[in-house]
């Protein structure tokens, strides 16, 4: 069974109603990155950071997987599929995608401020000041902030190296180190990109210049016929 790896970004979730960070009307236009997405911002104003991610958590709960997420589930019928996502929502999992690696953390989890291995499900209510882990530290979102190590990156690299087919979907590949993963494919890997704004000019990718919800189902149908 051939191995397919999908590298997904904000574009695939945007069609489910989740606000992106970098678009013209995105979250970074209304928030200072340093204030809400860095360890320094956390140390300066924890209440502000918690409000920002509590809002993201509420938004995620209202969203539903779209046709792109569901197409990946169909692909699992005839391929060994791994998803490496830059997104922090759980839409891949709710659509039935089985093997999902979150490079930048998960909004459905929270963790200790002093021990990154103390991770808890975030399913009941917003995180509040005073919520503590068993080591006595304030609970924080399980998100990789700017300036923090992307600890899952080595795992992601090893997955990409095994891919027979790589699909880039809904990402501009502007954020490193995630964008550099495309450089770890083997020489005979067949590569596709699905995005209305193709970010890979000049590279050996087969382009589907469409939204994720239309382009990815088309590509999946093609691959299922080839399997």
Identify whether residues 47 and 153 lie together within a single domain: no
Side-by-side strand order, sheet with 3-8: 100-102, 80-85, 3-8, 165-169, 190-194, 206-208
Confidence (pTM) = 0.92
Q: Which residues are catalytic?
A: 104
pLDDT of residue 28 exceeding 70, the answer is no
- Tally the residues of the chain: 227
Identify whether residues 51 and 158 lie together within a single domain: no
Domain hosting 137: range is 19-62+108-143
pLDDT of residue 55 exceeding 80, the answer is yes
Identify whether residues 112 and 162 lie together within a single domain: no
Identify whether residues 46 and 153 lie together within a single domain: no
What are the Cα distances from residue 202, in Å, to 103, 205, 207? 26, 8, 11
- In this predicted model, which residue has the larger pLDDT, 198 or 222? 222
Q: What is the CATH number of the domain that holds 44?
A: 3.30.1600.10
Identify whether residues 171 and 92 lie together within a single domain: yes
Q: Which residues contact 31 (CB under 8 A, 6 or more apart)?
A: 52
Identify whether residues 26 and 84 lie together within a single domain: no
Specify the number of domains making up the chain.
Answer: 2
Mean pLDDT value of segment 45-70: 94
Pairing, β 119-121 against β 165-169: unpaired
H runs (alpha helix) in 126-211:
153-161
pLDDT of residue 123 exceeding 90, the answer is no
Predicted local confidence at residue 168, as pLDDT: 95
Identify whether residues 49 and 159 lie together within a single domain: no
pLDDT of residue 152 exceeding 90, the answer is yes
Predicted local confidence at residue 30, as pLDDT: 59
Q: What is the CATH number of the domain that holds 177?
A: 3.40.50.1220
């Amino acid at each position: 069974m051939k191995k397919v790896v999908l590298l997904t970004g904000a574009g695939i979730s945007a069609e489910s109603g989740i606000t992106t960070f970098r678009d013209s009307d995105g979250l970074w236009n209304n928030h200072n990155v340093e204030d809400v997405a860095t360890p320094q911002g956390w140390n300066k104003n924890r209440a502000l950071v918690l409000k920002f991610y509590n809002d993201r958590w509420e938004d995620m709960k209202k969203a539903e997987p779209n046709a792109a997420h569901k197409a990946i589930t169909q692909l699992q019928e005839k391929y060994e599929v791994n998803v490496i996502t830059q997104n922090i929502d759980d839409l891949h999992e709710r659509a039935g995608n089985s093997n999902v690696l979150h490079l930048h953390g998960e909004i459905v989890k929270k963790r200790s401020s002093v021990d990154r291995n103390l991770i808890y499900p975030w399913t009941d209510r917003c995180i509040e000041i005073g919520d503590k882990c068993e080591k006595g530290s304030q609970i924080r979102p399980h998100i990789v902030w700017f300036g923090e190590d992307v600890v899952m990156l080595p795992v992601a690299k090893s997955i990409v190296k095994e891919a027979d087919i790589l699909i880039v979907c809904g990402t501009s590949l502007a954020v490193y180190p995630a964008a550099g993963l495309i450089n770890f494919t083997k020489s005979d890997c067949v590569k596709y990109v699905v995005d209305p704004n193709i970010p890979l000019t000049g590279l050996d990718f087969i382009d589907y210049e469409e939204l994720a919800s239309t382009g990815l189902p088309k590509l999946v149908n093609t691959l299922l016929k080839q399997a």
